[in-house]
Amino acid sequence: MTTPKTEIYFATRKRASAHVYITKGQGKVRINNVPVEMIPQETAREVILGPLEITGDLRDKIDISVRVRGGGFMGQASAAATGITRALIGWTKSKKEPKEHPLPKSTREDLRKRISDFDKYLVSGDARQKEPKKFGGPGARRRKQKSYR
């Protein structure tokens, strides 16, 4: 018996980081080895399952396992959602061995288009990143002092 190919994808949100493992399977979704239905926060569960609602009946053909660390529960949920989206898009890209892929090429292209139409920030990450400090700008010392006498 051969083990199914597993692909790993990574995403972050605030202080949370998520590793997403995607394989061909029966539609199981597990977060830190716990079924997603058992997550106590309903809002976090909805955020995590958002990208999977787009896939429709294709969700039953894959298994997703997410390992999340750091941050709060909503940061973890957002990181998991971004990772799942990246995993779905990466998993649907053309493979060297298309015979092993459970989805035909036209279905994969349609899924990729639906995900990018749904939310472009899930794919590329959050646009509200911290802006780096500008060279020559005011420093901490200058803001505190009233005069330089």
Q: What is the CATH number of the domain that holds 12?
A: 3.30.230.10
Task: Count up the domains in the chain and report the number.
Answer: 1
Contacts of 9 (CB under 8 A, 6+ apart): 19, 20, 22, 83, 86, 87, 90
Contacts of 89 (CB under 8 A, 6+ apart): 112, 115, 116, 123
Q: What is the pLDDT of residues 17-32, one digit of tens each?
A: 999 998 888 989 999 9
- Whether residue 102 is contained in a domain is answered as yes
- Whether residue 133 is contained in a domain is answered as no
- Angle (nearest 5°) at CA 44 between 41 and 50: 140
Range of the domain at 95: 7-120
Q: Please give the helix or strand (H or E) that residue 21 lies within, else none.
A: strand 16-24
- Whether residue 125 is contained in a domain is answered as no
- Whether residue 134 is contained in a domain is answered as no
Q: What is the pLDDT of residues 51-78, one digit of tens each?
A: 888 888 778 888 999 999 998 999 999 9
Q: How many CB atoms are closer than 10 A to CB 11?
A: 24
Its pTM stands at: 0.73
Q: How confident is the model at residue 141 (pLDDT cuts 50, 70, 90)?
A: low
Q: Please give the helix or strand (H or E) that residue 7 lies within, else none.
A: strand 7-13
- Whether residue 80 is contained in a domain is answered as yes
